[in-house]
Structure 1
């Protein structure tokens, strides 16, 4: 059994087709077919079922491919860790729903790096965060669940072969400008916000309410803005008397802009957590980023 054969098996699993896998591996189809057949002969069981429409994993193949994925990720981790002195370019990607604290942690991460790097922070909707981690577009994802959607979220994580770790449980807060009429309040109830426009993030045309990122289901609201990203929300918070509901974490990096957060006491707490693929070994950059996220969560909550 060779490392190359493991890579071949994973490629066929990914593309579901011998020809497409061979094309993406830049080898001939007969070469790939022979390598997989030799591997199956050595193992003593079939990894794939061959169909006219493509190739599918056998039950034994599913277990084998999961182990192969773990081996390849471990080798990649060791290469990153022990060949860094050779001047390789650092790569790290994270997907997150719309949190100020992840953006602040990401900016701080970049200041710690020397040499070459490619860092990517994707502001995404909740289901997109899950899919981007599953597909490997991002190494980790940061998102949240409420008591209402907790079971649906955890069930989705399990079916997607993702692991999660809780960062913190927080009381949702209203974000608005420090010049807002409610900015001096110590706490709020939803009815206190009723006279003001509400800003929410666009969730797509057919997103189940269990996978929306909003931390509470607002009752029918008279005035609403539906926006795409944190930058747009921030602009509207500073330029109007609108509010948005979020984690309540205000990083030091955005406080000078005049953004504040006031807890809403009649909304249940929400839980912020991060995810990764099962058996994936985190890179040093991912571990550093998560440490910075924990710091931002601790420092960014108004006392």
Structure 2
């Protein structure tokens, strides 16, 4: 009896990612009948239907969702194992860092490109808190960059423990308020919560199921409207065209060019900028260099 293999896992994930057997087969450079036969054999072996096949497309069943989740973990571990033990240096020329939306990631990655020209693939994955943790846990990225504070500490430390992740504090950063250049509060050197009371707040919220993981270091105000968005450009546009304000770390490259001013917020909790990694994984040379560049960057910041 034929046993499930890694190739069948790749077939299922490809169909799940591309939405159709045709697109998946094209991506994998195989014939569609071969792909369909491989998945059908797998479904028969497991006695489980992985896809609901309709004229509108192919959709994962509940069992299919669970299968893809587990298969991704297995394939990432196989990829990591191959990279760790192969003698072919080409397989080592890959580096990825995951993080929330921080302006400092791009210039440091560019510096790594110049320092390590033999690397064939460099990746900066910017997404939500949970996705960053998942990316590091599943070996897609060697490093993750997140914000840790009193609101999210308990849940994040629990997630780190579950995924066998370790972290290092890069810097303590204060909460800052950003607003348009001609905002009524723009002339003030520092901002208080009382100053903000009359104005709308724009919140960058992506983890709808876990509000404590929203990428926002400031609690929602007790009064005044709240606007939430999952798109950074939309957030800046709302702030530029209204008297709304947003909150962040204060680390923003050339805010004036984006029509913004940044002011420190008084009497708020401190935030830790952290770097995340696999607890049992020895960092590559490029990861160590990237980490050192991050430490040096924060030494030059006064946030």
TM-score by structure 2 length?
0.66
Of 103, 107, 130, 1:100 maps to 103
Of 188, 198, 201, 1:185 maps to 188
Could you say what secondary structure the match of 2:104 adopts? Answer: helix
Partner of 2:41: none
Question: Matches of 1:111 and 1:172 in 2, distance apart?
Answer: 33
Of 195, 199, 202, 2:202 maps to 199
Q: Is the 8 A contact 2:205 2:215 kept in 1?
A: no
Partner of 1:168: 171
Q: Is the 8 A contact 1:201 1:228 kept in 2?
A: yes
* In the alignment, structure 1 residue 19 sits paired with structure 2 residue 20: no
Q: Is the 8 A contact 1:73 1:280 kept in 2?
A: no
Q: Deviations over 1:50-103 (max 9, x none)?
A: xx99xxxxxxxxxxxxxxx7xx96984586xx976xx77832222212223334
Label 1:136 to 1:75 Cα distance change in 2 as closer, same or farther (>3 A).
closer
Question: Matches of 2:235 and 2:272 in 1, distance apart?
Answer: 22
Partner of 1:139: 142
* In the alignment, structure 1 residue 275 sits paired with structure 2 residue 276: yes
Q: Deviations over 1:122-146 (max 9, x none)?
A: 2211111111111122221111121
Label 1:18 to 1:286 Cα distance change in 2 as closer, same or farther (>3 A).
farther
- C-alpha RMSD of matched pairs (Å): 3.4
Q: Which runs of 5+ in 1 are unaligned?
A: 1-16, 27-51, 54-68
Matches within 5 A, 1:53-68: none
Question: Matches of 2:161 and 2:240 in 1, distance apart?
Answer: 40
Matches within 5 A, 1:106-255: 106-114=109-117, 117-207=120-210, 209-251=211-253, 254=255
Q: Is the 8 A contact 1:88 1:116 kept in 2?
A: no
Could you say what secondary structure the match of 1:100 adopts? Answer: coil
Q: Deviations over 1:169-225 (max 9, x none)?
A: 121111223433323322211221222222211324422x33333213223452333
**Runs of 4 or more consecutive aligned structure 1 residues displaced over 6 Å after TM superposition:** none
Label 1:186 to 1:166 Cα distance change in 2 as closer, same or farther (>3 A).
same
Question: Matches of 2:179 and 2:288 in 1, distance apart?
Answer: 32
Question: How many aligned positions are there?
Answer: 240
Could you say what secondary structure the match of 2:276 adopts? Answer: strand
TM-score by structure 1 length?
0.66
Partner of 2:72: none
Larger mean Cα displacement after TM superposition, 130-139 or 213-222: 213-222
Q: Is the 8 A contact 1:99 1:247 kept in 2?
A: no
Q: Alpha-carbon deviation of 1:112? A: 4.2
Could you say what secondary structure the match of 1:19 adopts? Answer: coil
Question: Matches of 1:88 and 1:22 in 2, distance apart?
Answer: 19
